[in-house]
Structure 1
């Protein structure tokens, strides 16, 4: 920041127009009263109880800005004051940047003094506890924000920021009020016609299980996020999406949701923006236990969309509940707010940290502690002590203080949709710093003899969680697949450690199961690519380690060392230019759906040019996957409306595509891994059987059973495949 004093003139305070009713203003932030305006304390209950000074009825919280009078001075300053209104965190945050040099600094300071000094002058002093960016631009530790006015009936009219630096003159910057909110955000909710009406509002006294002193009011999504500090508007472009194509089913695969997301956002600039999209659908393909899903796509722009599913078990009121309709409405409202919270880069209350201090790899924000008992939108009500009954009896329809501090004051790139990646800035610890939890063992392994991979070959690993205690132990049945519990660290030797996270994260009904002593559960993940892009795309040695959240503990895996061989041909080098792309990574995980047409072309070329390559097996599975079922596409009409179209299943074409899995079953199982290989054969056989081609279905299942026996797969898995084969044989007769 420049040592030169800021211009002496103070600009007239101004503010953004608060959202009008119908745009989501309703009761958020007391109707968005301007900073410095006198209001009834009942409208802003936190304003008169700061604990840091005399009671006040003038609100100051909001966003303030400094722009130099000299146009040649490119310094800009933004100050966020958080001392009153709803749930104040008693903090100031300051962002400064030079437009030409594109350098920036950001600090967050805790309020240490809040006083009225003299007539109509309020002075707030704060001490810096967090820094980001160029430290020399904000070297001091003391910040003073001052508000004053000559006619207090009109509120404060003049604002200034003073930076105190030891051994140097103070720097003073006159400010103007830009908005009583910290940032704007636009929310759009589109619904599929068979999903019912989304719960965009909830009346707080609708259900008897609530805090005794909870204010009686109708809350909306906009209200919640306004009280979190955002000028929230509900998009007027929300629409009902018809299931217009004959035969379209009511369930959605993750691949279809990604295609829908890509279709919608292709209408807008692919850049960070304060906006998100929610699709309200009936049911996910995985069934009623999935309540919501945040799109955690690859590439530079993430956290822009989510989906929720109205037919989930999560929205079934408990037996004997005194007000089941109100219970369902409250839970629908809760989960929608929860999923939108993920797009602000908020994690679950119980999964925020792994006990590390600031400075661990990938930890630019302040250290976080898990909050398993938090009465927050980001928690699971069923997981607190006493379950959902205890949760809602003390729930005040808010985020926790840690979450509000992050949303309001973290560097904006951490929070803004489409900016920094999902939960990469909240803090994670290097694997060697985490203690192993006795009673569990986590193994990662490939289902192959040697840990050697060809160039272009995706690395698929199996995760095995074993109860090594002498007593039964409970665990989340979806821990290895839901995207919330498992994190993987990957380090190419000689390069920094990077963090793998799945491309989709599911909010599912908590399904606690019990694992007997010595028993194991299994899961598989393709770890070459993730939400941040390709992680294994160069030859060399890699070390891989995983951390699994099991209850309140973290279980650390073995360190697996693999080798990726150099390219063997010019064809491989040429294909790599298009292969290591965001779309191909998505296609290998979700399938080469119609929304990933360019990726499909690349994978088809790989199969054609390098048919004997291990990567061609993965490409064949990706190309076959969309053909195994009717596939929905969300398309935009010329008038801007959205509609659903259906691409019919083509199981015979899929069977032809995966012929290499039947011709070379051992090699295919080596590269795909046991779970993906046998699941693919099972899905192909089921699709053929449903289409009436019993003979081909039988051939696929026979190959599957024979390969399972040769590879000594678990007997229970073999018995399940044999039962399916017997059922097909019975129909053939």
Structure 2
């Protein structure tokens, strides 16, 4: 077979050439990366790809000629390649390289997989155990074999099983703990683009998700992901099949592959597949959202492979667009056209973005999303928050530029329980902090912003909201300026997203919030600093140490109750967040042994929202929530 990776050097210029002309699923492309060698160092220069070259293959020889597209300025875009047993040569941008085949794979990635004690990492699945589509041969697949079929070699390092030290048996991971675990473990890696990725097999996520690719908010993204054993475990063929898909899916994000229905948000935008992307037979689609036929239809037709465009990206995408730690996820996708209302909309659903009339400069921007039915009752999924990426939010800034809110954490929900919107449940509500994401702060200056959301329903319909005007006020005095500066740091933005963290990498952000509380405790924005500090203190915090041990910092309910009580007293946050704060305050009081006080907080929550005049259906839901919280805290207390 001719296809594979070739290497060569001409003076100080080194070439890695990918020839894809025969073998399994040939794309009839050649691509490569160019590097400059100086002494003992090698630097990346650029990449190229030829997608429509003249290719002639005869036996064990190949001749390739044509124009290539370069990621950088090239003096000559014409390339010529001759591969032969007696010697191979490539002429590219004025250099002549003597090349030799280095691998049958196009790319090679080093995978380190760690697992928390009590989890059982996935091993392999035999595709012939369950019915598969015609033309998809029965074979045994693990993660490495699945990527080998895409032309990528996955090399694994010895895995680590992480024991648990410290108090507590709650091994449910939240976003802050995952972020800290990634930061801690990546000290072992070069903080630069490289073909290396870390996968954590954790017990469960507090949100019940199956997997997450959570490395977004730094200079070297796409290097960390996790799968959650409790959500995907099982020995049946169906469970093993689903585990294989989850592992391959999460690692696919590390290669910069978007979900099937979001490829139009990439740069350059990619065309969506059938049914707005939901019809893609791909590792990157969601099984339950496949159209037509949902989960049953997906597995009946899925050949256990990436789509052709995904295969081209993995094999031939420019180095920085694919290599872990290089270009950001969905490179360049931050600047987009504002979402537009459909020409025709018969979905029976309406989406609304609601928020305060105005925000102080430096105040965390939180909006409320409301999805309601119009006319006849409707069934759809409940993933209304932009972190799950069935909902997107775009922000038109005062300078006229429109950017896409891109969450710091990206959940793969993989399950979409249906909700029914009708007279008894007319609307679904979610609160979303959109002030900070993986592109940093989105509201960095006073002025008028336009916020619009798009919800992708279970049938693929795209429901677009009217624009919400968000006004960020100018600071009134010097204290407003000083508090805003303390609130708008990059680390502070991460802490608001994570609702607090113990991570040493966010120490400066925590110090800034402490300063807001200590020096400017009467300022209206201090309520947000107290909320972050209180929520973080009230929960335990898991951390993986450098020697691969899991240590649990126990909750500090006294500190949590002190800060959260002040938040409730000030009542400066949105209703949905206030609901969360009061339930966490009740838990803090119960953990201090005062169930009476905890129950009183829940009674206060009902009274507070009744006084706010929330509609009777929502108030009934809050009453039930309060009673369920009381029961849960009573059971926890024994």
What interval of TM-score do these two structures reach, taking the shorter chain for normalisation? 0.7 to 0.9
Report the equivalent of 1:202: 125
Alpha-carbon spacing, 1:725–1:579, altered in 2? closer, same or farther (3 Å): closer
Of 353, 359, 366, 2:264 maps to 353
Match of 1:445 among 331, 334, 354: 354
- How far does residue 548 in structure 1 lie from its aligned partner after superposition? 2.0
Contact 2:500–2:535 at 8 Å: present in 1 too? Answer: yes
Q: Residues 96 and 137 of structure 1 are in contact (CA less than 8 Å); yes or no, is this contact kept in structure 2?
A: no
Match of 2:82 among 146, 151, 155: 146
Can you list the C-alpha shifts for 1:109-132, whole angstroms capped at 9, x where unaligned? Answer: 224532247x9752124455xx46
- 1:635 has 2:545 as partner: yes
Cα distance in 2 for partners of 1:602, 1:94 equals 46
CA contact 1:365–1:427 (8 Å) conserved in 2: no
Determine the structure 1 residue equivalent to 2:97: 174
1:614 to 2:518 alignment: no
What is the Cα deviation at residue 281 of structure 1? 1.8
TM-superposition CA deviations, 1:117-169 (whole Å, max 9, x none): 7x9752124455xx4644x52664x544322344xxxxxx2122367xxxxxx
Q: Distance in 2 between matches of 1:132 and 1:548?
A: 36
TM-score by length of 1: 0.77
Distance 1:532 1:228 in 2: 30
User: Is structure 2 residue 171 aligned with structure 1 residue 235?
Assistant: no
Q: Answer yes or no: is 1:466 the counterpart of 2:351.
A: no
Aligned-pair distance for 1:371?
3.7
Deviation track 1:412-449 (CA, whole Å, cap 9, x = no partner) reads: 22222222222245798512556264433221111x3x
Checking the alignment, whether the CA contact within 8 Å between 2:379 and 2:421 is kept in structure 1 is: yes
Shift of 1:577: 5.3
The question of whether the paired residues in 1 share the 8 Å contact of 2:91 and 2:97 is answered with: yes
> Of 85, 93, 115, which residue of structure 1 is paired with 2:56?
115
Paired residues of 1:307 and 1:339 also in contact (CA < 8 A): yes
Distance in 1 between residues matched to 2:296 and 2:284, nearest whole Å: 17
Give 1:525 shift.
Answer: 1.1
How many angstroms apart in 1 are the aligned matches of 2:60 and 2:26? 22
CA distance in 2, matches of 1:227, 1:64: 22
Whichever of the two has the greater Rg, that structure is 1
Tell me whether 1:158 sits opposite 2:62 in the alignment: no
Conserved 8 A contact 2:353-2:453: yes
**Displacement of 1:576:** 5.2
The CA deviation at 1:245 is 2.5
Q: Distance in 2 between matches of 1:120 and 1:218?
A: 30
Q: For 1:657 and 1:120, how far apart are their aligned partners in 2?
A: 72
1:228 is displaced (CA, Å) by: 2.1
Pick the aligned partner of 2:143 from 218, 221, 225: 221
Q: How far, CA to CA, are the matches of 2:600 and 2:198 in structure 1?
A: 44
State the Cα deviation string for residues 670-727 of structure 1 (Å, max 9, x = none).
xx31111111112211332354213432443344223212322232332344456668
Among 36, 45, 60, the alignment partner of 2:3 is 60
The equivalent position to 2:612 in structure 1, one of 679, 690, 711, is 711
Take 1:395 and 1:684, find their aligned partners in 2: how far apart are those partners?
47
Select which of 237, 247, 253 maps to 1:336: 247
The aligned residue for residue 83 of structure 1 is 21
How far does the alpha carbon of each residue in 1:236-288 deviate from its partner, in whole angstroms, 9 at most, with x for none? 2x21111232423132222222221122113333322221111112222223x
Long gaps (5+) in structure 2: none
CA contact (8 A) 1:298 1:582 kept: no
**1:304 maps to what in 2?**
223
Name 1:483's counterpart in structure 2: 388
3-state SS of the aligned residue for 1:263?
Answer: helix
- Residue 137 of structure 1 corresponds to which residue in structure 2? 74
1:396-407 aligned at under 5 Å gives the runs 396-407=303-314
> What CA distance in whole angstroms lies between the structure 1 residues aligned with 2:502 and 2:3?
51
| Mapped pair 1:189 → 2:142 | no
Q: 2: distance between equivalents of 1:132 and 1:677?
A: 52
| C-alpha distance in structure 1 between counterparts of 2:480 and 2:222, whole Å | 33
Alignment RMSD, CA only? 3.1
Preserved CA contact (<8 Å) 2:349 2:378: no
Equivalent position of 2:328 in the other structure? 421
CA distance in structure 1 between the partners assigned to 2:262 and 2:445 by the alignment: 32
Shift of 1:506: 1.7
How far apart in 1 are the matches of 2:391 and 2:288? 21
Q: How many residues align?
A: 618
Q: Equivalents in 1 of 2:37, 2:393: separation in Å? A: 37
User: TM-score, normalising length from structure 2?
Assistant: 0.88
Give me the whole-angstrom Cα distance separating, in 2, the residues matched to 1:456 and 1:329. 47
Gaps of 5+ in 1: 1-57, 151-156, 164-170, 317-323, 355-361
Q: Which of residues 535, 557, 565 in structure 1 aligns to 2:465?
A: 557
Determine if contact 1:624/1:658 at 8 Å carries over to the other structure: yes
Select which of 169, 190, 195 maps to 1:274: 195
* Contact 1:571/1:609, CA 8 A, preserved across alignment: no
Could you tell me which of 356, 364, 375 is aligned with 2:281? Answer: 375
> Does the C-alpha gap of structure 1 residues 458 and 138 become closer, same or farther in structure 2, counting only changes over 3 Å?
farther
Structure 1 residue 539, shift from structure 2 partner: 2.1
1:592-671 mapped onto 2 (5 Å cutoff) = 592-595=500-503, 596-637=506-547, 642-665=548-571, 668=572
Question: Which residue is 2:206 aligned to?
Answer: 285
